[in-house]
Amino acid sequence: MLERTQLDATQVATIVQEQFPELLPVTVEYLGGCSQSGPTTWPVLAHRDLAAEHVLCDPIRREIVGIIDWSEIAISDCSVDLAGVFHWGGGSGMKSVLAAYEGPVDKGVLIRARFLAACRGVGDVAFGLETERREYIESGMRALNFCLGGDGSAGNTV
């Protein structure tokens, strides 16, 4: 699965080149060179589409109060859901989640999560460009910034 995701994201990154040429070399280098190997965790029940729009928050208490849209639920590697956290929360979001996460998470899981978040970021930018939806472009660029080290705490997390 990860090899196919890597190939797809690298190919989609070329679509982004016209609009964001300064981002492409770093992104393609990261996607192409990312090591996806590492210890495998045991399977967990995963949401598999843990995007910000599926997380319900109480803005006053600043707490997550629910997760919606479980249509992609499956037994999977926990890095798939952690990628969603990294995509919209960066390293600081990941640290917050890991502080409460009860399962084991090793460096291999975090590397895969960051890689999958970067792939999703490239996809968001490409989709936003194709459909002229600025919110997807901004979300994807933010995620790529997190994944490529723009979030000050990301480097220490993964």
Domains of the chain, CATH where assigned: 2-34+41-157 (3.90.1200)
In the three-class reduction of DSSP (H, G, I as helix; E, B as strand; rest coil), residue 65 is classed as strand
Q: Find residue 58's DSSP bridge partners.
A: 63
Q: In the prediction, which pLDDT does 46 show? A: 92
DSSP H helices, 34-133, are 79-100, 107-131
Q: In the prediction, which pLDDT does 158 show? A: 47
Single pTM value for the model? 0.79
Angle at 144 between CA 138 and CA 147, to 5 degrees: 145
Whether the pLDDT of residue 133 is over 90: the answer is yes
Tokens coding 84: 């969603």
Instruction: Report the distance separating Cα 143 and Cα 147, nearest Å.
Output: 6
pLDDT band at residue 153, thresholds of 50, 70 and 90?
very low
How confident is the model over 27-82, as pLDDT tens digits? 666 666 665 555 566 789 999 998 888 999 999 998 889 999 999 999 988 888 99
> What is the mean predicted confidence (pLDDT) over 145-156?
62
Whether the pLDDT of residue 107 is over 90: the answer is no
> What is the mean predicted confidence (pLDDT) over 3-22?
68
Rounded to 5 degrees, φ, ψ at 46 are: -120, 145
Q: In the prediction, which pLDDT does 130 show? A: 87
